[in-house]
C-alpha cells in the first residue's frame, strides 16, 4: 500500500462554526388555572399545579455585527391550532427587530401536557387565561431574543452526534382490526440520533447547549393533572446542571411516528426519567467534543510493539458563520375528500362523545387555517450557518425525512425541526396512505406531500452548497 505522508495529516471530523452567538432563557410558565385539556380521553380542563417550569430559549447567530441575525427559539408549548394565534406571537420578534421573516424560526416542543394555545377556547373552563398567556408568551420570547442579542460574543458552535433509545416506533398494527393504533411497536424502526450543539465564547466558557431529537412528548396523557414540559424539562435541567446553568435549547426533530415506549401516563416521574435518559445521552456526546478552538489531528507515528498513529488536539482553523436564510413556499395539495367547514360543523353539532368533539373541533380549526382551497401554502425554512443546516416546517413529518437529508449531505450537520412557525398536520410517507392510521386520517395534506417536502429541502440545501 503506497500512501503519501501528506495523506496521513488528516483531521478527525468535528463540525464547527465560528462567529457571533448569543443565548438566553426566559421563564414562560403558564398560570395554573389555564385551560389545558389536550386529550380526547381527558376529563379534566384545569391542572392542579405545575410539574416543572416552562421556558423559551433563544439562540442568535451571525458572522459579524453588521449582519442581520438568525433567530431560533425553542419554546415549551404544544401546537398551534390557528394561524392567527401563531402569527400573533412570532410577528412580535419580526417587527421589533425589523427582520426578514425568513430569519426567524420558533420551534414548539410539542408537549401534550401544556396549556391550550387557542384563543377560540376562551369559553371553556380556564379559557379566560389563554389570551393573557399568549401575550405573556409573546413577551417572554421577545425578552429571550433581546437578552440573547445583548449577550452576543465571538465564539464557536460545535456539533457532535449521540444516541438515545428513548424514541420508539409508535405505529402498531391492531390485531383485532385492520388498522394501526398509536403506541409502542417493538419491531418498528426508530431514529436514535441525538444531535448535540455546544456554544462557547472566546474564553472557552459554555454559553449554551442544543439538543435536537425526534420523539413525541406524549409521556403525560389524560390522567395527568400537572402542567408540564414533559421529558424536555428534565433533559434541559440535566444539561444546565452539568454546564453551570448555561441555557439548553431543545429542538424537536421529525418525530411523526416516534414516541417513548412508556407513555400515556399521569406520573410525572416517568417523564423525568425519560428526560434524564436523553439528557445523559446528550452529555455523553458533549463530553466527547474537542476543546473549543481545537481539532483532533494526526500528529506522528511512534514505533512500539506496533506502529502507533498518535492523534492529538491541534488548533482549528476559523470556520466563518456565513449565513443564508431561505423561506420556501410549497403549494401542497389538500386531500380531495377533506370536508368543507360547514360539513365539519354539522358533524360537530351531532357529536356526543368527548373524543369525537375534540377531534372535530381541531378539524374545524384546521379547515379555517387551510381556507377554501385545493392547496395549502406550506412554508419551510432552510438556513445555512457555515457547514450547519437548520431546516424547519409547520408540520409533523415522519423521521425518514431527517435520515434521508443527513444521508444525502454527510459533510453537513443538519438540524431538522417539526412544529416550526405553525402546525398544519402530519406528513406521512406516500406508502402509508393506504393504511387506516391516525397520522394519515388526521392530516389534511394529500398523498405525496412528504416526498414533495423532502425533494424541496434537498434542492434548497444543495443550492446553499453552491452559494457557499
Count Cα atoms within 13 angstroms, Cβ side, for 298.
12
* CB 452 within 8 Å of CB 286: no
pLDDT given for residue 358 in this prediction:
75
**pLDDT reading at 8 higher than 70:** no
pLDDT tens per residue, range 303-338: 999 999 999 999 998 888 888 999 999 999 999 988
- The pLDDT of residue 14: 66
What average pLDDT does this structure show over 339-363? 79
Tell me what pLDDT residue 464 has. 86
The predicted structure's pLDDT at residue 10: 55
- Half-sphere exposure of residue 227, counting CA atoms within 13 Å on the CB side? 25
- Per-residue pLDDT at 350 exceeds 90: no
What's the confidence (pLDDT) of residue 418? 98
Average pLDDT over residues 353-365: 77
pLDDT at residue 32 above 90?
yes
pLDDT tens readout for residues 176-200: 999 999 999 999 999 999 999 999 9
Helical residues (DSSP H) of 14-70, grouped into ranges: none
**Ranges 9-13, 140-144, 216-220, 397-401: which has the least confidence:** 9-13
- Find the mean pLDDT for residues 16-41: 96
Mean pLDDT for the stretch of residues 362-370? 81
> Which cell goes with 211?
439538543
For cell 398509536, name the residue. 182
Residue 363 banded pLDDT, cuts 50, 70, 90: confident
Residue 352 has pLDDT above 90, yes or no: no
Best CA proximity match to 393, nearest among 376, 404, 381, 401 = 381
C-alpha atoms less than 13 angstroms from C-alpha of 197 in its C-beta half-sphere: 28
Name 350's Cβ contacts closer than 8 Å, sequence gap at least 6. Answer: none
Question: Which CA distances in Å does 271 have to 234, 325, 418?
Answer: 8, 35, 21
pLDDT grade, residue 420 (50/70/90)?
very high
pLDDT reported for residue 37: 93
DSSP calls for 242-299: HTTT--EEEEE---TTEEESS-SBS-HHHHHHHHHHHHHHHHHHHHTSPPTTEEEEEE
Task: Kindly state the cell numbers that stand for 267.
Answer: 406520573
Write the DSSP assignment of 286-344 as a string of letters: HHTSPPTTEEEEEEEEEESSSEEEEEEEEEPPP-B--EEEEEEEEEEEBPTTPPPHHHH
Q: Model confidence over 35-61: pLDDT tens digits?
A: 999 998 899 999 999 999 999 999 999
pLDDT at 373: 84
- How does residue 466 score in pLDDT terms, banded at 50, 70 and 90? low
Q: What is the pLDDT of residue 6?
A: 47
**Is residue 421 over pLDDT 70?**
yes
Per-residue pLDDT at 12 exceeds 80: no
Residue 25 pLDDT > 70, yes or no?
A: yes
Q: What is the pTM of this model?
A: 0.94
Is the model's pLDDT at 210 over the cut of 90? yes
Instruction: Summarize the confidence of residues 134-159 as an average pLDDT.
Output: 97
Mean pLDDT estimate for the chain: 93
- Rounded to an integer, what distance in angstroms lies between the CA atom of residue 85 and that of residue 130? 10
pLDDT tops 60 at residue 439: yes
pLDDT at 3 over 60: no
- pLDDT per residue as tens digits for the range 242-270: 999 999 999 999 999 999 999 999 999 99
Min mean pLDDT across 42-46, 236-240, 359-363, 395-399 is at 359-363
Q: What is the pLDDT of residues 283-308, one digit of tens each?
A: 999 999 999 999 989 999 999 999 99
CA distance linking residue 372 with residue 154, whole number of Å:
49
Cα atoms in the 13 Å half-sphere on the side-chain side of 240:
18
Distance CA 46, CA 352 (A): 21
Amino acid at each position: 500500500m503506497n500512501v503519501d505522508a501528506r495523506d496521513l495529516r488528516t483531521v478527525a471530523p468535528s463540525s464547527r462554526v465560528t462567529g457571533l452567538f448569543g443565548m438566553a432563557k426566559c421563564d414562560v410558565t403558564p398560570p395554573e388555572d389555564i385551560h389545558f385539556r389536550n386529550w380526547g380521553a381527558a376529563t379534566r380542563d384545569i391542572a392542579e399545579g405545575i410539574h416543572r417550569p416552562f421556558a423559551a430559549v433563544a439562540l442568535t447567530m451571525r458572522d459579524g455585527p453588521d449582519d442581520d441575525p438568525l433567530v431560533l427559539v425553542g419554546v415549551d408549548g404544544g401546537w398551534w391550532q390557528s394561524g392567527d394565534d401563531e402569527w400573533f406571537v412570532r410577528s412580535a420578534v419580526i417587527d421589533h427587530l425589523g427582520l426578514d421573516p425568513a430569519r426567524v424560526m420558533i420551534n414548539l416542543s410539542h408537549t401534550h401536557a401544556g396549556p391550550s394555545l387557542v384563543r377560540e377556547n376562551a369559553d371553556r373552563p380556564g379559557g379566560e387565561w389563554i389570551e393573557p398567556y399568549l401575550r405573556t408568551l409573546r413577551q417572554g420570547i421577545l425578552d429571550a431574543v433581546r437578552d440573547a442579542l445583548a449577550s452576543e460574543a465571538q465564539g464557536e458552535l460545535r456539533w457532535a452526534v449521540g444516541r438515545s433509545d428513548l424514541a420508539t416506533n409508535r405505529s402498531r398494527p391492531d390485531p383485532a382490526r385492520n388498522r394501526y393504533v398509536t403506541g409502542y411497536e417493538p419491531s418498528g424502526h426508530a431514529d436514535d440520533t441525538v444531535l448535540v450543539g455546544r456554544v462557547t465564547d472566546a474564553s472557552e466558557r459554555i454559553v449554551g447547549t442544543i439538543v435536537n431529537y425526534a420523539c413525541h412528548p406524549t409521556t403525560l396523557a389524560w390522567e395527568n393533572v400537572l402542567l408540564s414540559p414533559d421529558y424536555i424539562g428534565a433533559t434541559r435541567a440535566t444539561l444546565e446542571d452539568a454546564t453551570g446553568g448555561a441555557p439548553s435549547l431543545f429542538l424537536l426533530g421529525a418525530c411523526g411516528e416516534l414516541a417513548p415506549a412508556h407513555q400515556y401516563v399521569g406520573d410525572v416521574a416517568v417523564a423525568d426519567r425519560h428526560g434524564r435518559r436523553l439528557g445523559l445521552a446528550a452529555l455523553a456526546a458533549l463530553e466527547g467534543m474537542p476543546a473549543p478552538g481545537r481539532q483532533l489531528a494526526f500528529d506522528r507515528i511512534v514505533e512500539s510493539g506496533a506502529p502507533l498513529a498518535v492523534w492529538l488536539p491541534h488548533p482549528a482553523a476559523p470556520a466563518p458563520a456565513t449565513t443564508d436564510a431561505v423561506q420556501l413556499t410549497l403549494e401542497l395539495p389538500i386531500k380531495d375528500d377533506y370536508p368543507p367547514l360547514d360539513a365539519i360543523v354539522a358533524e360537530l353539532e351531532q357529536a356526543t362523545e368527548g373524543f369525537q368533539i375534540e377531534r372535530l373541533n381541531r378539524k374545524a380549526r384546521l379547515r379555517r387555517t387551510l381556507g377554501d382551497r385545493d392547496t395549502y401554502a406550506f412554508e419551510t425554512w432552510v438556513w445555512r450557518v457555515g457547514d450547519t443546516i437548520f431546516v424547519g416546517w409547520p408540520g409533523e413529518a415522519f423521521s425518514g425525512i431527517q435520515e434521508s437529508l443527513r444521508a444525502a449531505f454527510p459533510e453537513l450537520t443538519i438540524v431538522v425541526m417539526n412544529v416550526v412557525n405553525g402546525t398544519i398536520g402530519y406528513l406521512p410517507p406516500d406508502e402509508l396512505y393506504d393504511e387506516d392510521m391516525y397520522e394519515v386520517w388526521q392530516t389534511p395534506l394529500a398523498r405525496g406531500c412528504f416526498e414533495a417536502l423532502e425533494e424541496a429541502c434537498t434542492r434548497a440545501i444543495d443550492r446553499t452548497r453552491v452559494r457557499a
